Amino acid sequence: MMEHLNMQSMDKVAANVAKIRELFPNCVTERINNEGKLEHAIDFDMLKQELSDHVVDGLQERYQFTWPDKRKAILAANAPINKTLRPCREESVDFDNTENLYIEGDNLEVLKLLQETYLGKVKMIYIDPPYNTGNDFVYRDEFKQNASEYKDNSGQYDDDGNQMVTNTESNGRFHTDWLNMIYPRLKLAKDLLSDDGVIFISIDDNEVDNLRKICDEIFGESNFIAHMVHKNNSMKNQSKYVGVSTEYILIYSKSYEVLSLKQPNWRASKKGAKDVNLMYTKLKKQGLCLDEIRENIMEMYSKPKYSHLSRWNKVDEIGVFKDADLSRDNGPKDYTIINPNTGKPCVIPSRGWGKSYEELLRLQANDLIWYGDEDTPPGQKSYLTEESESVFDNFIFADTAADKKLIISMFGREVFEFPKSLDMLMQIISLCTNKNDIIMDFFSGSATTAHALMNLNFNDKEKRKFIMVQLPELINPERVTSEKSKKVAKNAIAFLDSINKPHNICEIGKERIRRAGQKIKEENPLTTQDLDIGFRVLKCDSSNMEDVYFTPKEYMDKQQNLFVDNIKADRSDEDLLFDAMLKLDTPLSSKIEKITIAGKTVYNVAQGHLMACFDKNVTDEVITAIAQEMPSYFVMRDSSQADDSVAINFEQIFNTYSPQTVRRVL
């Protein structure tokens, strides 16, 4: 496409800034101009210093990390919102029994809504936020000075209903938008983590340094755990000089001290090793050759239960092994050993040997060297045993080609261009979680995290629970730039049409969870009766309460009379129940029992933790029966009481039977 002719005269200031940026890049910063737009600007104090041979007086230097609108980003994390989460039974799987949640909505709003109920209860958070590449989508939040303004302007939508804006190439050079997006979300995420909780954040080169600074500020430098290197087997060609095939995962704890007490170390799991070794022994007894045995072992690794063992991908007459690195930085290069397969000297590792000559000879004598071909340095054989576990390495490999094949096998076509690594997520979830831990991903995408969690629960018979959060971003081929991305978007739309679903990312994620869970059940019918493959769908929406509830002064008395009660007419009793659960310390995955008392519907949540009745004309008999159950919380409509006498007796009844119950009306 031809570019439009610029009908404006040259911007000399911008041209001069560009020249200075070329000479003194450290003197160019970012600021918001008078029109509220982001632009490059000169740090004149720094420029003076660059052009002076002595220390120039100026602002006092101090260690800090800041950017335009940082204080407003902090405000965005703290500002209240008038929103709720509404249950959607028809899109859920096993709604009444599952303990998993899939939440659709802007994750900043969802994180705020979860603060009361899930404060300090999430064991692990993994996120893969949008990368600041200049083409990806970035959330844009409205920064307002008070709650009512924030409520009115909590999101920007385009004509298609997308609450997102494109970080265009011209704006992609700037870090400010991305920092303002991620900062408030991480502040809120920290509060959800348990004291021994951990957060893993995937990121690439563009923002890894800034993200490290942000996390040091939010979580504290002392709670930094690791800066992992995440290598994949496909190169990204965004650079004309180096094909990049690595990304990163930053790991921070809520409290390193608490984590150290509860989990003094993390060990890479080798569960399933016994099954693999039994398979090796069985096949060897059948007389299969080593190549055939290896082929069968690799077939085992294609199943979720054994995928974490895929690095043990070689076999010999002794057993199944992997080749461990025999090199180290600045190691000696003045000796080598002979490859008995070729009779030639082995290739010396480029970094140098990590073993002495004598140790190499000892390993060779004990047949513990894997030689490979004549152009490859040898490795040390490391056999797969049931007991062998090691501290988790900060270098982790992801087979991106395998993950794309998995998506194609599940959907019949490539419907997601950059799926997260299933194997990688299974590894990191297994490091720091077990039993009934809650794992959250609030940039859920194709829901790989949920898929990995179900696989792990099947493998080790644990009952971890997931909370996936995803903005229902519309899939639109016209909003992407590359032909490959357009093709994938069209594939996704065609697939969603085939199952009669709307064209948004959430539908891809939910369908993946359904299919992944069903596949595990179908392949293992005898051992998955208790495996939770369901999820409750909740959707972030405006408050259940009419506007008059929040701003009664704005309504005249005669207008207020138009409202029968404060609750919107289109909201169901179950909507009100989940709103109460959010506000009253009741997990959204709690078991809900619907019972009838004196002809009225009463909800019993989490075995009496919360009871609620939203029917009209509630009598003393109903209130008495509920009070006798002694729930921790009770909720009803303000307009539900049958007459004034019920209102008068309400408190007295509870004071008689259950004075400790917290009572609330809507």
The mean predicted confidence, pLDDT, of the chain is: 85
pLDDT at 375: 86
Question: Would you say residue 194 has pLDDT above 80?
Answer: yes
Task: Identify the band that residue 2 occupies on the pLDDT scale cut at 50, 70 and 90.
Answer: very low
Residue 119 in contact with residue 192, Cβ under 8 Å? yes
Over the stretch 491-539, which tens digit does the pLDDT of each residue have? 999 999 999 999 999 999 999 999 999 999 999 999 999 999 999 999 9
Residue 662 in contact with residue 633, Cβ under 8 Å? yes
Over the stretch 35-45, which tens digit does the pLDDT of each residue have? 777 788 888 88
pLDDT at 565: 67
Q: What is the mean pLDDT of residues 141-162?
A: 42
Higher pLDDT among residues 230 and 242, named by residue? 230
pLDDT at 234: 66
Q: The dihedral of CA 652, 656, 657, 658: what is its sign? A: positive
Over the stretch 253-283, which tens digit does the pLDDT of each residue have? 999 999 998 888 887 667 788 889 999 999 9
Distance of CA 257 to the CA centre of its chain: 24
Q: Is 137 exposed, middle or buried (0-12, 13-18, 19+ CB in 10 A)?
A: middle
Residue 488 exposure: Cα atoms within 13 Å on the Cβ side: 18
Distance of CA 98 to the CA centre of its chain: 20
pLDDT at 166: 43
pLDDT at 373: 83
Task: Identify the band that residue 553 occupies on the pLDDT scale cut at 50, 70 and 90.
Answer: low
Higher pLDDT among residues 132 and 462, named by residue? 462
Look up residue 299 and give its two tokens. 């077939």
pLDDT at 206: 85
pLDDT at 239: 58
d(CA 525, CA 519): 10
- CA separation, residue 340 to residues 36, 294, 345, 370 (Å): 71, 22, 9, 11
Question: Would you say residue 161 has pLDDT above 50?
Answer: no
Over the stretch 592-608, which tens digit does the pLDDT of each residue have? 999 999 999 999 999 99
Alpha-carbon torsion, ordered 295, 299, 300, 305, to 10 deg: 150
CA-nearest of 418, 456, 411 to 437 is 456
pLDDT at 23: 78
Question: Would you say residue 159 has pLDDT above 70?
Answer: no
Instruction: Name residue, tokens 């009779």.
Output: 343
**Alpha-helical regions (H) of 243-356:** 256-262, 273-285, 290-301
Identify the helix (H) or strand (E) that includes residue 108.
Answer: helix 107-113
Question: Would you say residue 643 has pLDDT above 90?
Answer: no
Q: Is 53 exposed, middle or buried (0-12, 13-18, 19+ CB in 10 A)?
A: exposed
Residue 276 sits at the vertex; the CA angle it makes with 395 and 232, to the nearest 5 degrees, is: 25
Q: What is the mean pLDDT of residues 405-419?
A: 92
Which letter does DSSP use for residue 386 in this model? S
Query: Residue 539: how many CB atoms within 10 A of its CB?
Result: 17
Look up residue 47 and give its two tokens. 């420029």
Strands 320-324, 314-315: pairing kind: antiparallel
Look up residue 371 and give its two tokens. 């030689």
Identify the helix (H) or strand (E) that includes residue 601.
Answer: strand 600-605
Range 63-72 contact pairs with CB under 8 angstroms and sequence separation of 24 or more: 65/210, 65/213, 65/214, 65/217, 67/30, 67/175, 67/176, 67/179, 67/180, 68/30, 68/31, 68/32, 68/38, 68/176, 69/32, 69/143, 69/176, 69/180, 70/179, 70/180, 70/183, 72/143, 72/180
d(CA 174, CA 183): 15
Q: Name the most confidently modeled range: 97-106, 214-223, 539-548, 563-572.
A: 97-106
Question: Would you say residue 558 has pLDDT above 50?
Answer: no
Question: Would you say residue 316 has pLDDT above 60?
Answer: yes
d(CA 575, CA 100): 18
Q: Percent of the chain beyond pLDDT 70? A: 85
Instruction: Name residue, tokens 């340094």.
Output: 209
Task: Identify the band that residue 46 occupies on the pLDDT scale cut at 50, 70 and 90.
Answer: confident
CA-nearest of 80, 196, 71 to 583 is 80
Question: Would you say residue 150 has pLDDT above 60?
Answer: no
Task: Identify the band that residue 155 occupies on the pLDDT scale cut at 50, 70 and 90.
Answer: very low
pLDDT at 313: 92
CA-nearest of 423, 397, 419 to 408 is 419
Over the stretch 563-619, which tens digit does the pLDDT of each residue have? 456 889 999 999 999 999 999 989 999 999 999 999 999 999 999 999 999 998 888
Distance of CA 544 to the CA centre of its chain: 28
pLDDT at 71: 80
Look up residue 105 and give its two tokens. 């909505």
pLDDT at 133: 67
Question: Would you say residue 144 has pLDDT above 80?
Answer: no
Identify the helix (H) or strand (E) that includes residue 126.
Answer: strand 122-127
The residues facing 597 across adjacent strands are 600
Sheet holding 83-87, edge to edge: 83-87, 536-542, 101-104, 465-470, 438-441, 122-127, 193-203, 244-253, 224-236, 395-398
pLDDT at 551: 56
Higher pLDDT among residues 391 and 330, named by residue? 330
Task: Identify the band that residue 7 occupies on the pLDDT scale cut at 50, 70 and 90.
Answer: very low
Residue 156 in contact with residue 142, Cβ under 8 Å? yes
Instruction: Name residue, tokens 């392949």.
Output: 523
Task: Identify the band that residue 345 occupies on the pLDDT scale cut at 50, 70 and 90.
Answer: very high
Question: Would you say residue 437 has pLDDT above 70?
Answer: yes
| Residue 232: strand, helix, or coil | strand
Q: Percent of the chain beyond pLDDT 90? A: 54
